[in-house]
Amino acid sequence: MYKSESGFVELVILVGAVVLIGVGAFFLNFLIVRETGTKNDPPKPMYSIANNNQDVPSGSCKPGDPGLFTSDVTDMSAVNLIQNPIRLVGGKNIKTHSYIEVKQKSPVYAPMDATLTGGSNYLETYGPNPVTKVQYILSFNDGCDVSFWLDHLVDVPEKIRLAFPAEPSNDTKSVAVQSIDIKAGELVGYSNQDGRARFDFGVVNLKAPQTSLTTNPQYKDDEIVKTSKKYRFAVCPFNLYNAEKLQEYQKYYDPTVTSDQEIIDDICD
């Protein structure tokens, strides 16, 4: 009787072990499928979190060095002049972007592969020459450390227009937009053709040294300087082109200072 009960117990233990192994294998397979998508799919690449909180493949980021920008931002034959940052406009407004003035309404292109991450569609109803057409400020990011923005654009492509709210606002406060991938050289809009034909072109590089605004006693305690990346990490847009292309842009640099504009730091010099 004892031997029979012992054999039965051993059998129960053996069956239980087989069941546990089977259950363990099932859950292990479940975890693998959950991570890779299907049994046959290759494992997903590891991702790192970039400074803009977007997921990008590790090691895929290109530094913000000359040559990162591969396409002209507009037709160079149309450029009149380029006013570079950093400027104090109207005695109080700090501008860390370049102004590109063109001879007539001109196309504006993405200088590199990037993703639309924000911006605003708005009506500019102030100033001596109010613009009645809807304008756009577009913010793009390369998924890493470099961002650029373009402002005072009109007639943007439909896919960009549809990414913004149907009703334009009366200011340029950034709104949530549908992200859209853009290729270098792709049309993103046209320069504003009403009033002065010009548009803004600014660049931020989070790996670059901070601007002089952060140490200048006159501006370092300004709340916008302390909190905005556009003021702390602005760089010269044209320095991200190769040497040959940079020389082409430099021909249009306008160092003129008026009573309304003061150059605080010529970061394109």
Give residue limits of the domains in the chain: 76-263
First CA to last CA distance, the chain? 99
Query: pLDDT tens digits, the chain, 269 residues: what are they?
Result: 434 444 444 534 444 444 444 544 444 443 333 333 333 333 323 222 233 334 444 457 889 999 999 999 999 999 999 999 999 998 889 999 999 999 989 999 999 999 999 999 998 765 555 566 899 999 999 999 999 999 999 999 999 999 999 999 888 888 889 999 999 999 999 998 766 688 999 999 999 999 999 999 999 999 999 999 999 999 999 999 999 999 999 999 998 877 788 899 999 98
Q: At the topology level of CATH, where does 76-263 sit?
A: Glucose Permease (Domain IIA) (2.70.70)
Counted residue by residue, the chain has a size of 269
pTM for the structure as a whole: 0.76
Residue 215's contacts (CB-CB under 8 Å, 6 or more residues apart) are none
Instruction: Please give the sequence-ordered ranges of beta strands (E in DSSP) within the chain, or none if there are none.
Output: 47-49, 55-57, 79-83, 87-89, 93-95, 98-102, 107-109, 114-122, 135-141, 146-154, 180-182, 187-191, 198-205, 234-235, 261-263
* Residues 69/98, Cβ–Cβ less than 8 Å: no
Q: Phi first, then psi: what are they for 43, rounded to 5°?
A: -60, 145
Q: Taking a C-beta distance cutoff of 8 angstroms, is the pair 88, 262 a contact?
A: yes
